[in-house]
A and B are shown apart, each in its own frame.
Chain A
């Protein structure tokens, strides 16, 4: 199944949503200062960025709807589902990494190969050996303490 979308229009909407979110989140995440430097405080830049993003978002929407300057792109939902599934693997990796770099990263390497439909057993062996080598190099040679 394929989905068609207009690049500028959707980018504009995404930028506008991001701008509104940033505008709303700024006072919550950046405390007000007792005194500002000639009107410029810690909140000024985030607010300015939210305005800039919003203006660009509106500009992109206008480009698409009024000036008709846009490009229709295609999303293959089957492929995207695979991408989303891989992102879940990355999430699982993130959770597993806390416990063991060696096991979690070996599994990530194996999963990455499986996702690319690799049928060569040697590649799986190489990726696991690579993790072991990196683990040894980091812990023994570079004195980096891995989980």
Chain B
């Protein structure tokens, strides 16, 4: 109790609250600009925290992380370009809804779902850290492989009219992920003798190309975009807000997605993009008659946003309890914890309990701060849709080029972005969907490396995948999901 009171005392100081508000705001901005991720925001602001006290410093950095996850959905909804990896699934229904003339409603839904997911995740972090970290620790190579295969099965639901075209796109994504040094054998793959390719291809550069540059080329040659701006500009602000009834109708979807996100977030290496896709897929699988996913369905925004924000605070669980950073941001935050004298791991709660609880409770408060910031800044964000289409195209191109450069301070990432913009443009002409490329890039490496590790563990026996309960559950879920999706697509075709 004393620890808790001390934590509350640390947290509810003027400094802490000020930096929390600032952190969330910076995070939203970083997330909303394509190419700039929450990780970049945390990295950029990390040096500024050296002179600060521990709790305000870490609250600022965590605030950036949480804000960026919601911020990513803003550009996904308004300009069909995900600001972060986690927002890729949001554009499936977010952008169609904005195109229909409801950008504010789509953003409202994203904000409510993000806050809901973030709160569930933060509460999970506070109350279930030890239990979840035990489950997450029981994930070995076979479980990761099964999880990746389960995630890849989502290609079936995001392939549009042709699953075969979706599989070709997914294969391209997986192939791109093989570029660079193979982590298991150390052999170079598809590097073409270029030293810059040794580290592989940055996913965000590919994302910018596939979603943004591809779209810009289409707008420039007039095959897309003429009517979009006008449909967004004509928005009636009053009728374009999320109603209480609409929000309530999505609560079961948000609850389920938040739990999915929280569990996936706690698994090291899984990440928010997987959480978003699995949540979206689950919502689509449970769709009621009349709910048209992919055409601007509210639940199609609620699910991925609750899912990806559900994975935010919970990704700190393995970090705080075991000292294992779950993803890139967690690794950067681990650096921040260390620089402020905190040794993350099992003993952290004993040595710095008050500070850790302040950060955990701060994670809850940050979600509420994010909600109010989003709520009142939303009309400002929506102004982006009032920018004339010609100017918006030019500005986006400029921002994307700068963003791609900022990924690794290298011109190479800009080239990758431009090349994949052109590739995606031609793929679009043939009807190949872009979403499976992202899924392939995220899940391909997890599936490949863990398959090889699992077979090493089992001495070459494939039975390992059916002998472990978690693994078997994922395999059964994959089969059930594919069968159900096939049935649903047949029903829709009739």
Give the B-binding residues of A (Cβ under 8 A).
Answer: 7-8, 10-11, 14-15, 18, 22, 25, 29-31, 33, 37-42, 45-46, 49, 52-53, 56-57, 59-60, 63, 71, 73, 75-76, 79-80, 82-83, 86-87, 90-91, 93-94, 97-98, 101, 105, 108-110, 112-113, 115-118, 120, 123, 126-127, 130-131, 134-135, 138, 142-147
The 30 sampled A-B contact pairs (Cβ below 8 Å) are A11-B168, A29-B191, A30-B188, A30-B190, A33-B185, A38-B456, A40-B451, A40-B455, A45-B178, A52-B168, A80-B221, A83-B220, A87-B217, A90-B422, A93-B401, A93-B418, A94-B411, A94-B418, A97-B401, A97-B414, A105-B401, A108-B397, A116-B389, A123-B391, A123-B394, A130-B395, A130-B398, A138-B406, A143-B44, A146-B402
Docked-complex contact B165 and A60, CB < 8 angstroms: yes
Docked-complex contact B171 and A49, CB < 8 angstroms: yes
The docked-state distance in angstroms from the alpha carbon of A117 to that of B393 is 12
Asked if B430 is at the interface (CB within 8 A of a chain A CB), the reply is yes
The docked-state distance in angstroms from the alpha carbon of A14 to that of B165 is 11
Nearest Cβ in chain B — how far from A30, in angstroms? 5
The docked-state distance in angstroms from the alpha carbon of A42 to that of B191 is 13
Asked if B405 is at the interface (CB within 8 A of a chain A CB), the reply is yes
Docked-complex contact B222 and A82, CB < 8 angstroms: yes
Docked-complex contact B430 and A79, CB < 8 angstroms: no
Nearest Cβ in chain B — how far from A105, in angstroms? 6
Asked if B431 is at the interface (CB within 8 A of a chain A CB), the reply is yes
Nearest Cβ in chain A — how far from B31, in angstroms? 15
Interface membership of chain B positions 418-449, coded 1 if the CB is closer than 8 angstroms to chain A and 0 otherwise: 10011001000111100000000000100010
Q: Which listed residue, A94, A115, A131, A142, touches B414 by the CB 8 Å rule? A: A94
Do A113 and B390 form a contact, CB below 8 Å, given A37-B184, A56-B165? yes
Q: What residues of A have a CB within 8 angstroms of the CB of B389 in the complex?
A: 116
Q: What residues of B have a CB within 8 angstroms of the CB of A90 in the complex?
A: 213, 418, 421-422
The docked-state distance in angstroms from the alpha carbon of A75 to that of B187 is 42
Asked if B409 is at the interface (CB within 8 A of a chain A CB), the reply is yes
Docked-complex contact B401 and A7, CB < 8 angstroms: no
Docked-complex contact B221 and A134, CB < 8 angstroms: no
Q: What residues of B have a CB within 8 angstroms of the CB of A18 in the complex?
A: 168
Asked if B9 is at the interface (CB within 8 A of a chain A CB), the reply is no
Q: Is the interface of B mostly helix, strand, loop or mixed?
A: helix
Residues of B175-229 contacting chain A, CB below 8 A: 175, 178, 182, 184-185, 187-192, 213, 216-223
Docked-complex contact A112 and B190, CB < 8 angstroms: no
Docked-complex contact A109 and B397, CB < 8 angstroms: yes
Asked if B484 is at the interface (CB within 8 A of a chain A CB), the reply is no
The docked-state distance in angstroms from the alpha carbon of A127 to that of B387 is 12
The docked-state distance in angstroms from the alpha carbon of A83 to that of B220 is 7
Nearest Cβ in chain A — how far from B212, in angstroms? 12
Asked if B174 is at the interface (CB within 8 A of a chain A CB), the reply is yes
Q: Which listed residue, A45, A49, A57, A109, touches B398 by the CB 8 Å rule? A: A109
Q: Which listed residue, B190, B399, B425, touches A134 by the CB 8 Å rule? A: B399
Q: What residues of B have a CB within 8 angstroms of the CB of A108 in the complex?
A: 397-398, 401
Nearest Cβ in chain B — how far from A2, in angstroms? 12
Docked-complex contact A56 and B167, CB < 8 angstroms: yes
Asked if B452 is at the interface (CB within 8 A of a chain A CB), the reply is yes
Q: What residues of B have a CB within 8 angstroms of the CB of A37 in the complex?
A: 184, 452, 455-456
Asked if B234 is at the interface (CB within 8 A of a chain A CB), the reply is no
Asked if B252 is at the interface (CB within 8 A of a chain A CB), the reply is no
Nearest Cβ in chain B — how far from A132, in angstroms? 10
Q: Which listed residue, B167, B189, B190, touches A52 by the CB 8 Å rule? A: B167
Asked if B164 is at the interface (CB within 8 A of a chain A CB), the reply is yes
Nearest Cβ in chain A — how far from B383, in angstroms? 15
Do A113 and B394 form a contact, CB below 8 Å, given A7-B430, A22-B175, A59-B164? yes
Asked if B388 is at the interface (CB within 8 A of a chain A CB), the reply is yes
Nearest Cβ in chain B — how far from A71, in angstroms? 8
The docked-state distance in angstroms from the alpha carbon of A62 to that of B432 is 17
Asked if B139 is at the interface (CB within 8 A of a chain A CB), the reply is no
| Closest partner residue, chain A, to B402 (CB atom) | A134
Q: Which listed residue, B174, B221, B422, touches A49 by the CB 8 Å rule? A: B174
Q: What residues of B have a CB within 8 angstroms of the CB of A59 in the complex?
A: 164
Docked-complex contact B216 and A56, CB < 8 angstroms: no
The docked-state distance in angstroms from the alpha carbon of A40 to that of B409 is 35
5 smallest CB-CB distances across A and B, nearest first, come from A38-B460, A83-B221, A11-B430, A56-B164, A112-B394
The docked-state distance in angstroms from the alpha carbon of A90 to that of B414 is 10
| Closest partner residue, chain A, to B453 (CB atom) | A37
Interface centre among B405, B421, B455 (most CB of A within 10 A): B405
Q: Which listed residue, A11, A46, A60, A145, touches B178 by the CB 8 Å rule? A: A46
Docked-complex contact A79 and B188, CB < 8 angstroms: no
The docked-state distance in angstroms from the alpha carbon of A101 to that of B411 is 10
Docked-complex contact A79 and B171, CB < 8 angstroms: no
Docked-complex contact A79 and B223, CB < 8 angstroms: yes
Docked-complex contact B411 and A38, CB < 8 angstroms: no
| Closest partner residue, chain B, to A41 (CB atom) | B185
The docked-state distance in angstroms from the alpha carbon of A59 to that of B406 is 41
The docked-state distance in angstroms from the alpha carbon of A83 to that of B188 is 35
